Structure 1
């Protein structure tokens, strides 16, 4: 009985010692969780020992326990889950905006953009780290050089700054007796340059005057008329086709140069404003009377006409006499046709 109880106690002690020597290996980490510093300093993980975890840099705890326990030489399952940190939108700065193509979570980048007329100072991209956004960009207004002075003129208005900023306007005017040529004002652009060159002031007497208009008028009259003659007597009978009379009248071009009246700079013409050319063509039928002898017809033509008329009358008379004789003979021939002795017709 004594020996039996002794053996039982020894067996229990042996089991306890054996189970006490069952250790777990060093915990392995993966994903976005890591061992805490205390767990990293431990070399042995005996039965019942605990190991603690935490979210990796840039991640935050979402849910689950950070601890695992060594049981019979094995670790329990880690139930800790972590998610990326959200940096959110960067702090607002004047005239500065951001473009978020990758979002605002840990590791994402954002592009900094300045408003028109402002230039970026600092990095053009910011990255979301575990401690927040990197870098601090800012936007500075664009400035132009000091406004240039002009001869025989002054600057009447300009911004308060020594170097005009974007959008600043500089006004100019000329001294008495001088006229402003060019723009009265210049403006500072977004690229740091003025939108135009400064104006010039010139003496009015030195500005060449040119005609404002040149008017050219040309009139050409070319009538062509064929007039039939007026027949009053035999002497007016034309023997040849009537004449074709062509009358051409040309009016020389009239050019007028009108000097302008100068009242202000807008009245000073730099180039001729217009050249007008007017051409008018008019056909005027002339009144022409054509008659015979009494209106200047040559005597040779009149005599020829008279001779020809006499010949025509003589021929007509001869033909008429011949026809009368023939008709008379025929009449007597038919009258005697019924006689016994017929005459030879």
Structure 2
């Protein structure tokens, strides 16, 4: 038996050849290496010192040509991937050793979703999983079919009110508030009132075009326009035909006024 200690993971190998037939493995920093020869086989172990972990293969074999089948591992400081928290900050930015714990805080106007602490485990993972920092402001709310909302501020504490088109009534919460990045209630829907005559194609087209008057933001107005076009069962050809009729009516009215 022989013992070799170098200021070098646990690697175990069984080699079906004599120790002398294979080249000596290089020392690995921050580890302890122990090798034993038993019944024509070699048992070797690399053990990283406290605070370091193995990176590389755990087992080695020596082939008939006297070559090792893999590269030598390394012992690296820390045990888990560096924690990343967008719009926040972990208590430690450097390498974290096994069993150590860190805590998390979010920047102003962001709220922590998940655990406010995590521990570095033996398998190189964080447990509980790393949290996220979510904005306390809300995104634009959805529009129910045959409905719309009033309100242009989507920040924390802002309010919106939902309405339905003529012939529909609202089912759900009408007034909602932005609370920690979420609207206070689920999106309501607009239910058709039985017995109410459905809008004529011309009325539907007018409602579609009205989207550009409701919202000053062009992108939002275009989204509302396309949504209402679909909701009313209209196509761009229907819209084009209607506008051509309107144009012809205006031209005829203008000609009559000039006479």
TM-score scaled by structure 2?
Answer: 0.31
TM-score scaled by structure 1?
Answer: 0.25
Greater relative contact order, per chain length (Cα 8 Å cut-off, separation 6+)? 2
- Greater Cα radius of gyration, structure 1 or 2: 1
